[in-house]
Amino acid sequence: MSRHHRTRQRAPKQTVADKTRQAFYHLALDWIDLHTRLPSPAHTDQQARRATTREYGHPAEWASDKSRQIADIFWSWHDMLAEHRNEHRPPEHTSEQIRVMKAWQYLEPRFEQLVEMVDEDALREINDLHFGIRRSLGYLRPVVILPVPCPGIDCGLLTLTRQVSVGVDFIVCASCGYTVRDDEEGKNYAWLVRVCLDTLMASVT
């Protein structure tokens, strides 16, 4: 992957940082899905085939390739920011899980600084990969069961689900209907995202 381009600031800093945080969160969930289920693509990605000339004879090969690509991207952004901050850079030759976990833990509180350093086109690679994986898996609106209790009053059940598609992203409890949206009204969304991702990462073996 090419090195990320330095940039001028374009949109309000917090807005770009929040969107970037969500993009990395989505990609981390993709890694968990690919790493644990090894799903097969629902249809052939002809453009990707022409670009790589890779023929997949088993679902695990496609999922493993994408999982590795996500881990490499996470490591790349972690390494770039650590180098810029003159801090300890992440080791390259570690497991995918460690690279993704360590990158998320390092980047999550520093997205405001990250978005000031890179061109907006470079940030699009995160969303492009996420939606490419979603399309290949045939997910129009995938539902992810989240491993944290519902924060709704008098509920607390492990029935939180996240539904996402282009332009739509929300968390809802299948039991009580408690809903948090990724918009200005979604007061607890960032907190839920952080808790869910940390819990999911810790549960992957």
State pLDDT tens for residues 14-40: 577 888 888 898 898 888 888 877 777
* Cα–Cα distance for residue pair 103/64, rounded to 1 Å: 19
Burial 102-130 (b: 16+ CB within 10 A, else e): bbbebbbebbeebbebbeeebbebbbebb
The predicted model gives 134-157 an average pLDDT of 76
pLDDT at 53 over 60: no
Which pLDDT does position 82 carry in this prediction?
95
pLDDT in the model for residue 48: 42
What integer pLDDT is reported at residue 89 of this predicted model?
93
Sign for the CA dihedral angle at 94, 96, 99, 101 comes to negative
Q: What are the residue boundaries of the structural domains of the chain, listed by start?
A: 1-139, 141-205
202 vs 197: CA distance, rounded Å: 9
| Closest among 27, 172, 152, 141 to 181, alpha carbons compared | 172
**pTM, full prediction:** 0.63
Write the pLDDT tens digit of every residue in 91-108.
888 888 889 989 999 998
What single letter denotes the amino acid at residue 78?
Answer: H
Pick the residue with more confidence: 200 or 43? Answer: 200
Q: Is there a contact between 65 and 45 (Cβ–Cβ < 8 Å)?
A: no
- pLDDT higher at 83 or 34: 83
What does the pLDDT average to over 192-202? 72
Instruction: Say whether pLDDT at 127 is over 90.
Output: no
